[in-house]
Structure 1
């Protein structure tokens, strides 16, 4: 039995989330084609290993959330005890996903020590939320919304959007805080550790994905100059359920003048579900990307991309 680390990317739109949701018993592991994990485990069966492939996720993402990089490990046993070549695993899985038009790709596969754990060994995770602001109060559906950004970014309309206030408020989240207020209250685990370290919370202006100038003369009620794109980047040692989306929602509310930086400070200093400001509405999943799951240099030095002779 050998352990492998799979680095994966996917579009979350067609999935119910990354984690398999079909019940599992010791005697059977039914296929779950509506989750990323289920699809990957089914594709791993194409390798014809002796054992049933069961992956372990480094990070869970909700339905509709995308990943530029997520990671998982899996133990595989092959006839004759000869390890699978990591490159062959990537090729086999990507051929299956491409042939069946499944928006998952294996970025790389590594042979790793049996003691390596994709979740426990991760030292940080980085998320990106893409926001596009229409610079007036015209409802988004009456403007031209480029198809390149459909299901990839959140569009909002606001003539009062204050980027400087957003940047200032973002720094309130950096450091060691109890983020219980920003955790979705459906998570009722009494022993859950809600104190986390936020290493980075940055916001910067960026260009939208689309770059087709010849299309704009044909757009109705919309010009390319009417839109401003923003990337909101959060990096930490771990995140609570919906913490990123509620953090982004809070920053947008500050920029729009719905709440103030003092309201954010209150929610951080008085960590409780009752402290959440009801004026803030959680942003949808489709603008969120898991960008990176990071491991220490000591761990990375043990990764083997191909079999040694």
Structure 2
């Protein structure tokens, strides 16, 4: 199958050759004027016919030598058989020469001789072949264009379907981001509250130390240290979460500008990866919330028992 874009190149190449041949024919016709011969056939011989008729110039010069405007003796060498209709002839030929012959009364009369130069016939045949090639390529180009348009229409539909599909993934990520933010804010509040409770209880146990209080103080200090680590980890996770959110927005922008299935296919795995990260962050925040709640409950119970 011809590659797309090659037809235009082939047509342009053949057209250049066609123009060169047409130019040669035009130059040939300038050197050997072309006439439309029309008239009644008076005699037929091998390779020629004699016509009583006219020779009308095919160019704008009506007075060019070789023009015959009144019925006269005309000889056509190598006549076109398609131009013969019973006893009438019509066809285009180059002017060869003017000669003289005798009529039935023995008087000298002019005889105009026309025909086709072999060189011009060769050029004309070549021109016809080139024209046929150009038409053939143009038809093939047209058919290819129709097929290409059909393929583009199908591809556009597939592209839209892919965009809808990935658009759903983006919506899912958006929802996950909202959940992550809610969970992270809740975790932040629990963390802050836990730190406050620990600080208050540390202050209380330090003011009235005892064996139980010392053990509680030790536990509180450990929990305080753990909370400090949790806070650092939380801030780190939050920073990563925000970076991931920015990447998701960038991926969404690229998706909206995507013009090919390849671009969409490259975007889809990235979106899935981002969605998985969002879920991991949310799950991490929820685990922290659970641990902080348990720690708070433990120390709140200790405070009640002490009270």
Same fold (TM over 0.5): no
State TM-score, norm by structure 2: 0.19
Larger Rg: 2
State TM-score, norm by structure 1: 0.19
By percentage of residues, which structure has more helix?
2
By percentage of residues, which structure has more strand?
1
Q: Bigger relative contact order, structure 1 or 2, given CA contacts below 8 A and separation 6+? A: 1
